[in-house]
Each structure stands twice: as C-alpha cells, then as structure tokens.
A = this chain, B = another copy of it.
Amino acid sequence: MLINGAWRTAPADASTFSPSNPTTGETLPEAYPVASAAELGELLDAGLAAAEELRTVPVRRIADFLNGYADAIEAATAELAQIAARETGLPVSPRLTAVEIPRTFGQLRQAAAAALTGDWTQPVIDSANNLRSRLEPLGKPVLVIGPNNFPFAFNGIAGGDFAAAIATGHPVIAKAHPAHPGTSKRLAELAFAAAQAAGLPRAMVQLFYRSAHADGEAMAADARLGAIGFTGSEYAGRKIKAAADAAGIPAYFELSSVNPVTFLPGALAEKADELATEFSGSCLLGVGQFCTNPGLLLAVAGEATERFLTLAAANFAAAPSGVMLVPSLPRELDEKVAQLTAAGAELMGRGTGATSPGFLAQPALLRVTGENFLRDPGLFQSEMFGPAALAIVAADEDELVVVASRLHASLTCSFYTATDGSDDPAYARLLPLIAQRSGRILNDKMPTGVAVSPAMMHGGPFPAGGHPGFTAVGIPASLRRFGALKCYDNVRPNRLPASLRDQNPTGTMWRVIDGAWTQGDVGA
C-alpha cells in the first residue's frame, strides 16, 4: 500500500492476499496487504491534509503531474503490459500495448489539457448583480475504486475517474482491484514519482487494494472524503452507494449492463451474414469482459433472423475458449447458461475449447422466444458476464415492443435498421422505450467501443449508472462530477478567483458572461 508517500507491507500478524495468473490458474507468489480500518483512516487523514495544501497550488503543477505520469506510462508500456498480462490474462498485444495503455496515457493528457483550460469549471458571471459562480474542487480527497476488467484505463490509480479527480484538483485515494495488484503497484510508483516531480503533496496519490467489507463501507461514509468514483459490479456498487448516500457524499457509479442490440427485419434481410460476423466479433471481443458487451439481442422471428442466428451461433461454437479475469467467472457463466436453459432458453452455439489450464470460458449464444422472456424478464436480462449473449426472438413487432418495454437500465442500446427506411416505423416505436433507459444510443454500430470524447455518455439510469446525468468517460463532462458549485456574491475583485475576474485569465477560457458564452472579458 502507498500511504502518504510511504510504501507499507502488511505486518506479520495481518492478513494478506495473492493474485492469480488466469492463464495458468496458478496463485502468484507475491503477497499484498489487506488494509486495516486504521490504515484507511491514515489514508483519509493524509488525503485531507493534501487537499488543504492543494488550495494554493497552481493548476500548472496538476497538469505537469498528469503529463509526466502519462509520459512515464508510455515509456513503461512494455513492462506494464507484461505485469498486467500475468495478472489478468489479457493479451499483451494488441489489447494492452496497442489499445488500453495508449488510451490510458491519452486520457491523462486530455485531463491535463482540461485542467489548464479550466473550461470544466463553467464560470458564470452576472455583472448586473455582481454574482459570479463556478465549479471548484471539493476540498477533500476522492476515493476511486477500480474494476477487474481494465487494469489501466479504469484503474483506480490511472483510469478515467482518477484522471478526472486529479484534473479537478483532488488528491486520490485509489482502491485498485485486488485481481491486479502488481500492475497497480507499479502504476502507483510511477504516479507518485510524477506527482513529486511536479511538486505536489506526498498524499496526492495513495493506493490500497483490499479491506474488510465493513471497513470499506465505513470509509465510503467518512466525512473526510469529498466524493467517490466507482466502476465495478452492481452488488459491490450498491453497498458503496448506500454508505455514501447516507452520509451525503457525492458518489458516481458505472455498473453492469446488458446493452441490448436490436436487429430489425429489414437490416437482417439486407445483410444477415455481415451482421452475424459483426455481432459475434463484438460479443467475443476481450472474452466479453466489457461493461458495453452486447449481452442481449432483440429480433423478430423470420427467415433472415434464423440465418443470422445460425451464422452467429456457428461463430460462437467455433470460437476458442477465452481466459477470464478471475477464477469464479467461467463457473458463473456456466451456471448462468444452465439457469437460462432450464428456464426455457435454447443453447444455440457453445464453444468446445479447453476449460483448463487457467480460467477458461467457452463462448455461448442462447435464444429464447419473446413469450418465454416475458414470463421472467428479470432472469433473462440478468448479466451473463463473459463471451455470451441471449437472443430474444419475438413473434412479431408488437411482441418486440412489449419485450422492449420490460428492459432494465443499460449503458447503451444499439439499433440496426434497413438502409431503405423500411425499419423506420419499428425504430420509432422502439426507440423511446429503450433509449429512456440507456445512456448511449447507437445506430448501425456495436457498443463495445467507448471513445474518450467530450460528447461521450458512459453511464445511464440506475443501476447501470448511479445517476442519469453523469458520464464516467469523456472530458470535460466527467470532470464536472467532482465540482462544488460556488457563488461569489459581491466579493471584492482582488479576492475573486482568477477565472471569475473581469479579465479572462487565459484569454481562451470559455465563460458565460451576462447570458452568452464567450472567451472575452467582462464589459468587452
């Protein structure tokens, strides 16, 4: 653990844990400490003191830190990918070296740029009333809890929530996922060195991996905490949310999702083969271990649908087994497949690859009639984490509309429709039902890619996300989650923060002055 700039191992009498190598199934020799309640308190104390120090630190140093850290990650790409591959089973290339690590240092650099522009603070000046407002740091550390499936891009010590919390001027207490502690430790070493080089407080970045559940929940409700960013399972997320909510601590969640993909009849009639390949590829990508994995397919019965499903099922059956992140996942997937088939789903395609050594899962495509789905919508749309999907084949469009009306919240919803417009009436009926429960609406596209764009929404209504108005990915929107809105009412000019003075502090900062967005000065 990294507590206030010092690395600490577990005392001899304290509990430790060891990660596994998913590819071999072996438990790795390293032991990492489980944080005690007292240690969580130390993290909070040090984080709070660092937040106080940060009040007078120029934003330039925050940006220097983020850029320095990004450079360090880029320079260590090969080493980091090796460490992470051993702990996660994710392929070194292209996944880690060509995709996830570049995404990670890329978003750290975007966050650095956003810290410098300050646009995330959305300054608003009402000159007639001499009222000036902006978003400001919360003045306390942010706890960032990372998931198992992205050892870099969503890691508590390097990912999107980390970048957003740092860029907005907060010390981060990272709870990295215990499935990849070595990766997180190496990242924290790079982060700490970069923060020190930039002249930031020793507790700017801190790291722990595990705690007793009760200690973690107490931490989530601690008044020393400014906010929480969480990515992970709905089960754990609900516990953290309940604790934070009771204490009034803003907490942001990116939880599980089944991501319904609707293939309307005209689209399948046009190109069933191509779409079967596209769907299978998206579903099997990364062994299905994405929060945007398309787990639910919606279609109407018909010849083209049969052709599409038959081709897709063949792809699933022919796909090799995939290494999953933790030992429980292949077993849970098998159990879910058994549960759905017992409830009336048909197993259309199942991989036949090896199931050992390591945490290997066989891909699975299932189908169920709309009628059968409607008998137990909760069961049939519960998440099958991994390379698996359930196709709901409705008898007709009307039944598909009823199915759509029973869907739960998701991060995304995709629609494939005919180019000639013949599916448009069905699209118009389905869209409001499904889109209201989703954060991102896609046309003719699978949901697995999540661009780090200012226009991204990676979140959704509860329980896909914690709040329908916030995104975990995208800059500056993800940064605004960590802002406290402050109004300066008749405050003397020399006491105003630079971004609220008459003169634009950078010459390029976007501010609302008397109702209009401008990069100019007050009175200009």
Contacts and interface: CB of A to CB of B under 8 A. Distances in A.
Interface in A459-484: 459, 461-463, 466-471, 474, 477, 480-481, 483-484
A111 interface: no
Nearest to A447: B489
B129 A453 contact: yes
B443 A492 contact: yes
A124 to B, nearest CB: 4
Interface residues of A, number: 71
Given A248-B461, A510-B517, A455 B486 contact: no
A450 to B, nearest CB: 9
Interface string A27-63: 0000000000000000000000000100100000000
A477 B124 contact: yes
A250 B468 contact: yes
Contact of A484 (B135, B245, B469): B469
Contacts of A516: 510
Interface stretch (A150-158, A182-190, A433-441): A433-441
Given A126-B455, A129-B451, A517-B510, A485 B461 contact: no
B131 A487 contact: no
Contact of A469 (B129, B435, B485, B491): B485
A491 B441 contact: yes
Contacts of A495: 427, 431, 443
Interface centre among A55, A129, A463 (most CB of B within 10 A): A129
B486 A248 contact: no
A142 to B, nearest CB: 13
Interface of A: 52, 55, 124-126, 129, 131-133, 135, 138-139, 241-242, 245-250, 412, 427, 431-432, 435-436, 438-445, 447, 451, 453-457, 459, 461-463, 466-471, 474, 477, 480-481, 483-492, 495, 510, 512, 515-517
11 contacts: A55-B432, A125-B455, A126-B455, A133-B474, A138-B436, A248-B463, A249-B462, A439-B486, A454-B512, A459-B485, A469-B480
